[in-house]
Amino acid sequence: MIAERAILIPNSAIRQFFNLAQGMENVNDLTIGAPDFETPEYIVKSAVKASLEGHHYYSANAGIMPLRKAIAAKLERDNGISYDPETEIDVTIGATEALGLLMMTLLNPGDEVILADPTWPNYITQILMAGGVPVRVPTFEKDGFSLQVDAVEEAITERTKAILINSPNNPTGAILDRESVKGFVELARKHGLYLISDEVYEKIIYDQNQHFSPASLPDTKDFVITVNSFSKSYAMCGWRVGYVAASEKVITPLLKLQEGMASCANTMAQMAAVTALEGPQDAVNEMVKRYRARRDLMVEGLNKIPGISVEKPGGAFYLFVNVKGLGKSSQEIATELLQKTGVMTVPGSGFGSAGEGFLRICYAKNDELLQKALERIHDVVIKDY
Ligand code: PLP
- Quick check: 134 pLDDT over 90? yes
Q: Does 51 reside within a domain?
A: no
The residue among 342, 367, 347, 365 whose CA lies nearest residue 357 is: 347
Contact between 222 and 75 (Cβ < 8 Å):
no
166 lines ligand 1 (CB under 6 A): yes
Give the residue from 278, 298, 323 where a domain finishes. 278
Give the residue from 251, 278, 305 where a domain finishes. 278
Q: Does 46 reside within a domain?
A: no
| pLDDT of the residue at 373 | 95
Residues 206 and 311 in one domain: no
Q: Which parts of 120-259 are beta strand (E)?
A: 133-138, 160-166, 194-198, 224-229, 242-245
Q: pLDDT confidence of 233, banded at 50, 70, 90?
A: very high
Percent of the chain with pLDDT over 90: 90
Q: Does 300 reside within a domain?
A: yes
Residues 18 and 130 in one domain: no
Residues 73 and 217 in one domain: yes
Q: Which atom of ligand 1 is nearest to the CA of 34?
A: 8
- Quick check: 321 pLDDT over 90? yes
Q: Does 47 reside within a domain?
A: no
- The string of DSSP codes covering 325-372 is GG-S-HHHHHHHHHHHH-EE-EEGGGG-GGGTTEEEEE--S-HHHHHH
Residues 224 and 366 in one domain: no
| ipTM beyond cut 0.90 | yes
d(CA 163, CA 178): 17
Q: How remote is the CA of residue 194 from the centroid of ligand 1, in Å?
A: 20
Residues 223 and 303 in one domain: no
pTM over 0.90: yes
Among 97, 119, 120, the mutation site with the greatest number of ligand 1 atoms within 8 A of its Cβ is 120
Distances (CA, A) of 351 to 148, 311, 347: 18, 18, 8
- Quick check: 16 pLDDT over 90? no
347 lines ligand 1 (CB under 6 A): no
Amino acid type, 168: P
- Quick check: 12 pLDDT over 90? no
- Quick check: 20 pLDDT over 90? no
Q: How remote is the CA of residue 200 from the centroid of ligand 1, in Å?
A: 6
Residues 249 and 287 in one domain: no
| pLDDT of the residue at 33 | 84
Residues 147 and 251 in one domain: yes
Among 170, 270, 351, 360, the mutation site with the greatest number of ligand 1 atoms within 8 A of its Cβ is 170
- Quick check: 75 pLDDT over 90? yes
Question: How much is the average pLDDT of 218-224?
Answer: 97
| pLDDT of the residue at 22 | 82
d(CA 78, CA 212): 10
Strands 343-344, 346-347: parallel, antiparallel or unpaired by DSSP?
A: unpaired
Residues 34 and 80 in one domain: no
Contact between 67 and 270 (Cβ < 8 Å):
yes
| pLDDT of the residue at 15 | 79
| pLDDT of the residue at 19 | 82
Q: How remote is the CA of residue 275 from the centroid of ligand 1, in Å?
A: 21
pLDDT digit string (tens) for 147-201?
A: 999 999 999 999 999 999 999 999 999 999 999 999 999 999 999 999 999 999 9
d(CA 92, CA 99): 9
Tally of domains within the chain: 2
Q: Which atom of ligand 1 is nearest to the CA of 169?
A: 3
The residues pairing with 205 across neighbouring beta strands, listed in sequence order, are: 315
Instruction: Quickly count: other Cβ atoms within 10 Å of residue 141's Cβ.
Output: 17
pLDDT digit string (tens) for 31-46?
A: 988 888 999 999 999 9
Question: How much is the average pLDDT of 218-227?
Answer: 98
Q: What is the CATH number of the domain that holds 114?
A: 3.40.640.10
- Quick check: 218 pLDDT over 90? yes
Q: Please name the residue whose Cα sits nearest to atom 3 of ligand 1.
A: 170
Give the residue from 278, 303, 337 where a domain finishes. 278
100 lines ligand 1 (CB under 6 A): no
Domain that holds residue 9: 4-39+282-384
Average pLDDT over the chain reads 95
Q: Does 50 reside within a domain?
A: no
Question: How much is the average pLDDT of 9-37?
Answer: 84
Q: What is the CATH number of the domain that holds 372?
A: 3.90.1150.10
Question: How much is the average pLDDT of 7-14?
Answer: 84
Residues 81 and 209 in one domain: yes
Residues 197 and 336 in one domain: no
Residues 272 and 298 in one domain: no
The residue among 298, 75, 303, 80 whose CA lies nearest residue 173 is: 298
In this structure, is the dihedral angle defined by the CA atoms of residues 65, 70, 74 and 76, taken in order, positive or negative? Answer: positive
H/E stretch holding 289 reads helix 282-303
Q: pLDDT confidence of 372, banded at 50, 70, 90?
A: very high
**Size of the chain, expressed as the number of residues it contains:** 385
| pLDDT of the residue at 162 | 98
Q: Does 356 reside within a domain?
A: yes
Q: pLDDT confidence of 220, banded at 50, 70, 90?
A: very high
Percent of the chain with pLDDT over 70: 100
Q: Please name the residue whose Cα sits nearest to atom 7 of ligand 1.
A: 33
